[in-house]
Each structure stands twice: as C-alpha cells, then as structure tokens.
C-alpha cells in the first residue's frame, strides 16, 4: 500500500510505520526475534534503563537508490559501535549477526516507508538496547531488550545543505573527560539538552562542545562530529570524549580518495579564525555546512562561510557521500548493504 507522505518536506522526526522488531536477552541467551506492531514497551518500573541509564542506541539510514534497490549504509560499523557502547555500560553486547538480521528485517517489513530516489529523504533506523531487570541497588541488569524501529526522515537541520550557525559555551559539558562520550547512550544526550535548548533559544542550531578537561579544544557539534577545511586539509578533533562518527570516518576516507590530506588532532578554539570551511557531520546531519560560530563567552564571531554558502570541498565531500549512499557511483569501499528485496 502506498503511503501518503510528502517525502520532500519530511522533517527529522518520528513517523509511525508498520512494524518494529524486538529480541530479548534472558537466562544467558538471546531469544527469538519478534515482529511487533506495538509502539510501546511493557517494563518493570524498577528496570535499570529507567533508573541507572542502561540504554544504548544507534542511528543509521537506508536509501532507495537510482537503480530502485535499497541500501543500508555502513551496517557493520553500527553493529560494532553498539557493541562497544553496550560494553561501556556493562550491558549485554548484541551479536553482529543478530544486529544485521534485525536491521534488514526492520527495513524489509517497512519497505513502503523507504522514501523514493530523488526525494532527498531516507529511512532512519533507530536500534536501541535497554536494561530490563528490576534493581534498586546500582548494578547492571541480567535481562536486556533490543528493539529496532524505523522512521522516514528529512534533513536534521532546517537549513538542509544550506549554512547554519553554531555557538560555543563553557557553561555546560555533555560528558566528562573519562566519561561516556565515546558511547552512544541516552545520558550524554540528557546532559546536552540544557545547552542545546539555550542555543536554540538564541537562534543557533547546535552547540559546539569543547573538551571537558581544559575547554581549550573543539570536541563535537551537538548530535554530530565537527570537521573543517584549512588550507586544503581536512581537520577534525581527536578526542576521547566524542562519539566516533561513522559519517566522519567515511568523509575522511572520501577526502583521502580525493587527495585531500586528513588530520585528526586537537583543534584549539582560536584556530577557527583560520579555517576556510566547517561542517557538522553525522548520520542525521550528513554534512551540514556552518556559516559562522559564535563564542558566547569571549564575544567572538568566527565567520566561516564569508559568502554565506557551503564551501567547495564540503560540497564535493557531501556529493560524494550521497552518490555512494544512493548507488549513483561504484561503492568501492563496500560500505552499502544492498537489500535483496
């Protein structure tokens, strides 16, 4: 059955679809995969996910390609990362084959929600794992639920591939220096909400967080990593307190393929005055070009896009990434899982 969605004007949000898939880890093993039509979860009020934050999640996208085939981008990397996040929060790691199988099932079951080629939209997959055991003392659960729901989405920032503005503030940290920044867990996002909402109230799309130890170096950009182009070099923060972005990793590879040198290193805030282009990158953000960055504490505006337009290298990288995701060019690195629907 056709959907009556207006694909081209979809925001980045939740749209109900036909099914989600679930699997429970109990008595030391993962059970059978359940296909569900329910949008709710029944759980004990003392479940560890509710009290002690035992929750990890992922975000990845499926695209309808030029050839009509559906491609899921970098499925195995997301499988790897959710395992690492689970281990970081003392949760049961999800076997790679279970993760892959459930992602493919979730897309297949909701095939009619995969936006058409050319619409600019995609199907976002949101896998999440939660601790289900009732505990009052602080200790990890022995039972876990793994769920994947999907939602057709448009651009994360309203500007799409137009430039957006970002701010720096030292009033809040999202994570601690040796904390959970490397893991994709709800607590990091809870800790970022105050800063994010304050920034939005002031008209910015996101906060560019600084390293939480010294507040000297750039860390990451709200729900995305950060990169800049300086004298033809792709520079991106090296930090233990940021999420290892799969999009950033892919863009770095594409940059190298284009002969653009890549440097992952500490980037002092003041170096923003010397960059030619900058962008927030992530599954949701793709590569969102940044127009200017305001350092609210120092009262300094770093104007990045002097003409207000996305820079040439960011545009080239964005186009190269999209072309692979949409099956317009050969996937030389084997990043797509092509579905056999």
Based on the shown chain and the rule CB under 6 A, indicate whether residue 85 belongs to the binding site for ligand COI.
no
* 184 part of the active site: yes
Residue 79 Cβ vs ligand PLP, minimum distance, rounded to whole Å: 12
Q: Enter the tokens of residue 55.
A: 């929750």
Q: Which residues of 85-115 are buried (b: 16+ CB within 10 A; e: fewer)?
A: bbebbebbbbeeeebbebbbbbbbbbeebbb
Task: Tally the residues of the chain.
Answer: 341
Based on the shown chain and the rule CB under 6 A, indicate whether residue 127 belongs to the binding site for ligand PLP.
no
What are the contacts of 92-98 at 24+ separation with CB within 8 A?
Answer: 92/25, 92/129, 92/144, 94/30, 94/129, 94/146, 95/30, 98/23, 98/30, 98/33, 98/146
Based on the shown chain and the rule CB under 6 A, indicate whether residue 246 belongs to the binding site for ligand PLP.
yes
Distance, first Cα to last Cα, the chain: 16
Based on the shown chain and the rule CB under 6 A, indicate whether residue 59 belongs to the binding site for ligand PLP.
yes
34 within 8 A of 147, measured Cβ to Cβ: no
Based on the shown chain and the rule CB under 6 A, indicate whether residue 282 belongs to the binding site for ligand COI.
yes
Q: How far apart (Å, rounded) are the C-alpha atoms in residues 60 and 172?
A: 28
Q: Which of 66, 80, 184, 216 is catalytic?
A: 184
Which of residues 17, 110, 241, 247 is near ligand PLP by CB under 6 A? Answer: 247
Which of residues 205, 236, 245, 252 is near ligand PLP by CB under 6 A? Answer: 245
> Which range of residues in 25-33, 246-254, 255-263, 322-330 is near ligand PLP by CB under 6 A?
246-254
Q: How far apart (Å, rounded) are the C-alpha atoms in residues 287 and 309?
A: 13
Based on the shown chain and the rule CB under 6 A, indicate whether residue 283 belongs to the binding site for ligand PLP.
yes
Which of residues 250, 283, 314, 336 is near ligand COI by CB under 6 A? Answer: 283
Residue 189 Cβ vs ligand PLP, minimum distance, rounded to whole Å: 7
Nearest alpha carbon to residue 232 among 293, 275, 291: 275
Residue 174 Cβ vs ligand PLP, minimum distance, rounded to whole Å: 7
Based on the shown chain and the rule CB under 6 A, indicate whether residue 128 belongs to the binding site for ligand PLP.
no
Which of residues 59, 187, 196, 291 is near ligand COI by CB under 6 A? Answer: 59
Task: Decide whether 10 or 243 has the Cβ nearer to ligand PLP.
Answer: 243
Binding partner at 243 among ligand PLP, ligand COI, none, C-beta below 5 to 8 Å by kind: ligand PLP
26 within 8 A of 143, measured Cβ to Cβ: yes
Residue 304 Cβ vs ligand PLP, minimum distance, rounded to whole Å: 19
Cα distances from 248 to residues 47, 139, 234, 268, in angstroms, run 34, 34, 11, 19
Task: Decide whether 141 or 207 has the Cβ nearer to ligand PLP.
Answer: 207
Based on the shown chain and the rule CB under 6 A, indicate whether residue 250 belongs to the binding site for ligand COI.
no
What is the dihedral sign for C-alpha 167, 199, 244, 190? positive
Based on the shown chain and the rule CB under 6 A, indicate whether residue 207 belongs to the binding site for ligand PLP.
no
Q: Interface mask (CB under 6 A) for ligand PLP, residues 60-99, using x and -?
A: ----------------------------------------
Element (H, E) at 263: strand 262-265
Which of residues 115, 127, 152, 282 is near ligand PLP by CB under 6 A? Answer: 282
Nearest alpha carbon to residue 76 among 91, 63, 56, 58: 58
In sequence order, what are the beta bridge partners of 170?
Answer: none
Based on the shown chain and the rule CB under 6 A, indicate whether residue 284 belongs to the binding site for ligand COI.
yes
Residue 31 Cβ vs ligand PLP, minimum distance, rounded to whole Å: 28
Active site residues: 184
- Give contact residues for ligand PLP (rule: CB under 6 A): 59, 220, 223-225, 243, 245-248, 282-283
- Give contact residues for ligand COI (rule: CB under 6 A): 59, 223, 282-284
């Amino acid at each position: 059955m056709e959907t009556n969605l207006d694909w081209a004007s979809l925001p980045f949000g939740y749209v109900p679809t036909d099914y989600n898939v679930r699997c429970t880890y109990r008595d030391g093993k993962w059970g059978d995969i359940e296909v569900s039509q329910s949008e709710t979860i029944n759980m004990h009020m003392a479940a560890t996910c509710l009290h002690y934050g035992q929750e990890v999640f992922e975000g990845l996208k499926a695209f309808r390609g030029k050839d009509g085939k559906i491609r899921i981008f970098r499925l195995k990397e997301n499988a790897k990362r959710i395992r690492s996040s689970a281990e970081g929060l003392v949760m049961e790691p999800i076997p790679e084959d279970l993760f892959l199988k459930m992602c493919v099932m979730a897309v297949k079951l909701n095939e009619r929600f995969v936006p058409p080629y050319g619409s600019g939209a995609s199907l976002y997959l949101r896998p999440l794992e939660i601790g289900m055991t009732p505990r009052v003392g602080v200790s990890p659960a022995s039972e876990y639920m793994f769920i994947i729901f999907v939602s057709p989405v448009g651009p994360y920032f309203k500007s799409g591939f137009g430039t957006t503005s970002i701010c720096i503030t030292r009033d809040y940290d999202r994570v601690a220096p040796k904390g959970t920044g490397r893991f994709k867990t709800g607590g990091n996002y809870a800790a970022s909400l105050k800063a994010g909402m304050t920034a939005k109230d002031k008209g910015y799309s996101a906060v560019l967080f600084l390293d939480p130890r010294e507040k000297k170096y750039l860390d990451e950009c709200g729900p995305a990593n950060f990169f800049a182009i300086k004298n033809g070099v792709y520079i991106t923060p090296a930090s233990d307190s940021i999420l290892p972005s799969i999009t950033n990793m892919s863009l770095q590879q594409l940059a190298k393929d284009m002969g653009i040198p890549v440097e992952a290193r500490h980037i002092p805030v003041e170096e923003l005055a010397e960059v030619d282009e900058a962008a927030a990158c992530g599954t949701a953000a793709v590569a969102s070009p940044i127009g200017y960055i305001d350092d609210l504490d120092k009262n300094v505006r770093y104007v990045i896009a002097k003409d207000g337009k996305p820079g040439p290298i960011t545009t080239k990288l964005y186009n190269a990434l999209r072309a692979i995701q949409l099956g317009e060019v050969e996937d030389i690195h084997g990043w797509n899982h092509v579905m056999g629907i």
